Structures are given as structure tokens and as C-alpha cells.
């Protein structure tokens, strides 16, 4: 059975000693793909832009604007967007250096939030998503195409619920909630795999099972490292009185906090299950080995008297020198007697072992 191992990816970092706040992009990174969704209670526009000037025009025409930036291959474009919205240079640097821990930082007129989003197609590799939230705007920076925000985009397009009228803080909540909820399907897959491994371990423990179990423990460790800091993020958003977060949005953020706590409970439960399955696998293999050793020991025990009888009658004594030199060798029924003696000895040992309960 092939094992697809979860790997820890080392994120690109700025060279040691670099100027703080300096934007250094990877030479292999693609040009930023910028999508804008501007909306209000009665209006909605969605488009892909190539010029930064279009952002300024749309910002003043709508109540809320969401600028979604995917990939960071052009430092000039990113710097220009930062200048338009007055984003702090250090936070802007952290948004493209994708080794940040989930966190919340408060600046004069905006909040900087970092979250970790799971990859697509059930992958447990995480992707950093950076949020800049102001009074009338939300900017997101994603490492690569593909995200879990499609449901939020559909809600904005269809004017579902209060998302168009609630402002940028509610839109930010909706995106964070989508990130948190995306962990539940991944954990369901992990739970299904653990149940399958439990059946395998209890039915027929094999060498390959222990490798699968260790891989599951590694995946759960990666999930724990990704989920745990999000509790601090939501706790900070709820604990501190941020003027950019409306009072009406706080219950929704509290719901996100509850979801992260639930995710951590599930992860810890699965980690205990995986550790228990490792112990069960070791115990099952030991019990299987003990059963084999018991059978071999019983077989050896039965053959000990048979070997003794055969060795006695296999001794070479001269019967003509003494009448005591194995007189039964000259007996007409000597050979049948030896065979019957062997069978009786074996049957007696089998009965004794069964009576003791060693065969059960």
C-alpha cells in the first residue's frame, strides 16, 4: 500500500539583514492576478483589473470594495496598492512573505490579519492568506490560484443575507469563516481513514499499517499547527475593541471562535485515536506472534517424547552379548508396540494440554 505523506513546506523568506518593509518577490512568481468585487446594498460590480488606477475609481463609487490579489510577481503593483489604501509597509511585507503565523495586528486605520487556508482537492498543505481590512475596503493576498471563497462570492452576487449591507468587517468575517469551515471536510476524511485503519489493525495487523498510522499522526500534527493559532486570532478580534469591527459582527466572530475550538477538539480526539491504534497494532502483532510461538511450542512438546522413544529404539546394542540388550527388538510385536507407545504419548500430551486450556 502506497503512503502519501504529508510534508512540511519551507516558505520563502527574505534574506537575512534585509531592510524591514522592503518588498522582495520571488523571481519565479507569476504576475499578480487582481480581481475586484465592489458592492453596496443595491449595486454590485465584479471585474478583473490590469491597472491599479481602476481600483481608485471603483473604491469611491461603492460602499465596500474587495480587492483579491493572487500571486506576488510584481513588487511595484503591490506597493502601488499599498500606497492607495495606506497600508503599513511591515504588514505589506508580511503579506507576501508567506511564512507568517496566523495573527492580528492593529494599525491606525486598518487591521492586518493572517490566516492559513487548506489546499484544494483534500490536500493538507496550507496556504497563507493575508487580510487588510479598513472601514470601506478589504484586501486579500493569496499565494496561488484556487481558494474556498466561492460561496462568499456567490452570496455577494446574489445579495444573499446581509453581506452587501454589513460592510467590510462582515465580508472579512465571511472569508475567515469559509477558511475555518474548510477544515471540517479534511478532518472528516482523516476520520474515515482512521476508521478504515482501525478495521485493518483489528482484523489483520500488517507491517504496512504502522506506516499509515504514523503518516496519519503526522497529518494531524500539521492540522493542529494550522488550526491552533486561529483561536488566538478570533480571541484577539473579540477581546479588543476594534473600531473597525461593528458590534453586530461580533456574534459571528464568536461563532468562528467556537468552530476553531470544535476543530481542535476533533484534532485532539483523532490524535488520541491514532496513538491508541499504534498501541493496538503493536499489541495485535505481539499477540499474533505469541499465538505462533504457542503453536510451535505445543508441537515441539508433543514431539519431545516421540523423539525420546525413537532415540531409545534407535540405539545399537548387540543382543547376542546380553539378554538385557533391548530384548523387545526380537519381539514379534515390537514395532507395532513402539508405534502405539508413540501415539499414546502424543494423545496423552494433547489431552493434558487441552485440559489445561492452552489450546483455547
Q: For residue 32, which of 93, 66, 79 has the smallest C-alpha distance? A: 79
Q: What are the C-alpha distances in Å from 249 to residues 110, 228, 253, 341?
A: 16, 22, 7, 91
Each domain of the chain, given as residue ranges in start order, spans 33-283, 292-356
**Does residue 226 contact residue 233 with C-beta atoms inside 8 Å?**
no
> Taking CA 152 as the corner, what is the angle to CA 143 and CA 246, rounded to the nearest 5 degrees?
100
- CATH architecture of the domain 33-283 equals 2-Layer Sandwich (3.30)
pLDDT in tens, 220-262: 888 899 999 999 999 999 887 788 898 999 999 999 999 999 9
Q: What are the C-alpha distances in Å from 200 to residues 144, 284, 290, 334?
A: 38, 11, 19, 55
CA of residue 142 relative to chain centroid, distance: 21
Q: For residue 126, which of 223, 2, 50, 196 has the smallest C-alpha distance? A: 223
The number of beta carbons lying within 10 Å of the beta carbon of residue 157 is 13
Residue labelled with grid coordinates 531592510: 19
CA pair distance 58, 70, nearest whole angstrom: 19
Name the range with the highest mean pLDDT among 7-11, 172-176, 339-343. Answer: 172-176
pLDDT-derived band at 12 (thresholds 50, 70, 90) equals low
pLDDT in tens, 166-190: 889 999 999 999 999 999 988 998 8
The number of beta carbons lying within 10 Å of the beta carbon of residue 29 is 16
Which of 3-12, 17-26, 288-297, 344-353 shows the lowest mean pLDDT across its residues? 3-12
Q: Which long-range contacts (CB under 8 A, 24 or more apart) does 266-272 make?
A: 266/187, 266/191, 267/187, 267/220, 267/223, 267/224, 267/227, 268/224, 270/187, 270/190, 270/191, 270/194, 270/216, 270/220, 271/217, 271/220, 271/221, 271/224
How many C-alpha atoms does 316 have within 13 Å on its Cβ side? 0
User: For 2-27, what is the mean pLDDT?
Assistant: 54
- What global pTM score does this model have? 0.76
pLDDT given for residue 18 in this prediction = 54
CA pair distance 140, 154, nearest whole angstrom: 17
Helical H segments across the chain, by residue range: 53-59, 75-85, 89-96, 150-158, 163-166, 168-181, 183-203, 207-239, 250-313, 334-356
341, with CB counted inside 10 A (0-12, 13-18, 19+), is middle
The answer, yes or no, to whether residue 97 has pLDDT greater than 50, is: yes
pLDDT in tens, 106-133: 988 899 999 999 877 656 788 899 999 9
Amino acid at each position: 500500500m502506497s503512503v502519501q505523506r504529508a510534508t512540511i513546506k519551507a516558505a520563502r523568506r527574505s534574506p537575512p539583514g534585509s531592510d524591514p518593509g522592503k518588498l522582495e518577490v520571488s523571481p519565479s512568481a507569476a504576475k499578480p492576478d487582481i480581481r475586484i468585487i465592489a458592492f453596496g446594498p443595491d449595486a454590485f460590480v465584479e471585474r478583473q483589473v490590469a491597472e491599479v488606477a481602476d481600483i481608485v475609481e471603483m473604491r469611491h463609487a461603492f460602499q465596500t470594495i474587495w480587492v483579491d490579489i493572487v500571486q506576488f510577481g510584481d513588487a511595484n503593483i503591490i506597493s502601488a496598492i499599498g500606497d492607495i489604501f495606506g497600508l503599513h509597509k511591515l504588514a505589506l511585507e508580511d503579506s507576501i512573505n508567506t511564512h507568517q503565523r496566523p495573527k492580528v495586528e492593529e494599525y491606525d486605520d486598518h487591521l492586518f490579519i493572517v490566516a492559513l487556508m487548506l489546499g484544494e482537492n483534500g490536500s493538507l498543505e496550507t496556504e497563507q492568506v493575508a487580510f487588510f481590512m479598513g472601514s470601506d475596503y478589504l484586501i486579500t493576498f493569496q499565494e496561488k490560484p484556487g481558494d474556498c471563497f466561492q460561496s462568499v462570492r456567490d452570496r455577494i452576487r446574489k445579495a444573499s443575507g446581509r453581506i452587501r449591507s454589513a460592510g467590510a468587517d462582515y465580508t472579512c468575517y465571511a472569508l475567515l469563516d469559509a477558511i475555518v469551515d474548510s477544515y471540517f471536510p479534511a478532518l472528516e476524511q482523516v476520520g474515515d481513514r482512521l476508521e478504515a485503519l482501525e478495521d485493518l489493525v483489528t482484523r489483520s495487523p500488517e507491517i504496512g499499517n504502522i506506516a499509515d498510522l504514523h503518516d496519519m499522526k503526522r497529518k494531524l500534527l500539521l492540522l493542529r499547527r494550522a488550526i491552533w493559532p486561529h483561536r488566538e486570532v478570533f480571541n484577539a478580534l473579540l477581546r479588543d475593541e476594534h473600531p473597525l469591527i461593528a458590534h453586530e459582527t461580533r456574534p459571528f466572530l464568536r461563532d468562528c471562535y467556537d468552530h476553531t475550538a470544535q476543530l481542535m477538539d476533533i484534532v485532539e480526539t483523532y490524535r488520541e485515536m491514532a496513538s491508541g491504534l499504534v498501541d493496538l497494532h503493536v499489541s495485535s502483532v505481539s499477540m499474533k506472534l505469541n499465538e505462533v510461538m504457542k503453536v510451535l511450542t505445543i508441537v515441539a512438546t508433543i514431539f519431545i517424547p516421540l523423539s525420546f522413544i525413537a532415540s531409545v529404539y534407535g540405539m545399537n546394542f548387540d543382543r547376542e552379548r546380553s539378554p538385557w540388550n533391548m530384548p523387545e527388538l526380537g519381539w514379534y510385536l515390537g514395532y507395532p508396540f513402539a508405534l502405539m507407545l508413540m501415539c499414546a504419548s502424543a494423545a496423552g500430551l494433547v489431552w493434558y494440554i487441552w485440559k489445561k486450556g492452552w489450546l483455547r
